[in-house]
């Protein structure tokens, strides 16, 4: 996916309760939430911010969340969260 030549807005989100998403890209009316972790043993708890964001805005168009971490291979964490390696190409 290339963002060159297309306008993409960048956001950070934090709820009043402390849940957060590190980066949200918005392009063509779709939000792409991205969480970045330093640990290689990521689990469902690491996606709590992504899940809270999705629950807070049920009427918005939100793509599956990406959890970027130093893992060896891409895997689906849930129906709405995918874990990808930092060095994924």
Can you give the pLDDT at residue 1?
46
- Polymer length of the chain: 89
Banded model confidence at residue 7, pLDDT cuts 50, 70, 90: confident
pLDDT in tens, 62-82: 999 999 999 999 999 999 999
pLDDT in tens, 34-55: 999 999 999 999 999 999 999 9
Whether 5 has a pLDDT exceeding 60, the answer reads: no
Q: Are 84 and 67 in contact (CB under 8 A)?
A: yes
What is the rounded distance in angstroms from the CA atom of residue 64 to the CA atom of residue 55? 13
How many whole angstroms from its chain centre is CA 14?
A: 13
Can you give the pLDDT at residue 45?
95
Q: Are 48 and 80 in contact (CB under 8 A)?
A: no
């Amino acid at each position: 996916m290339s963002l060159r030549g297309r306008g993409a807005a960048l956001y950070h989100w934090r709820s009043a309760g402390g849940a957060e998403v590190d980066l949200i890209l918005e392009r063509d009316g779709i939000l792409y939430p991205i969480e970045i972790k330093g640990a290689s043993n990521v689990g469902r708890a690491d996606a709590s911010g992504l899940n809270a964001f999705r629950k807070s805005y049920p009427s918005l168009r939100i793509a599956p969340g990406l959890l970027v971490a130093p893992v060896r291979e891409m895997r689906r964490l849930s129906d709405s969260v995918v874990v990808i390696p930092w060095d994924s190409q």
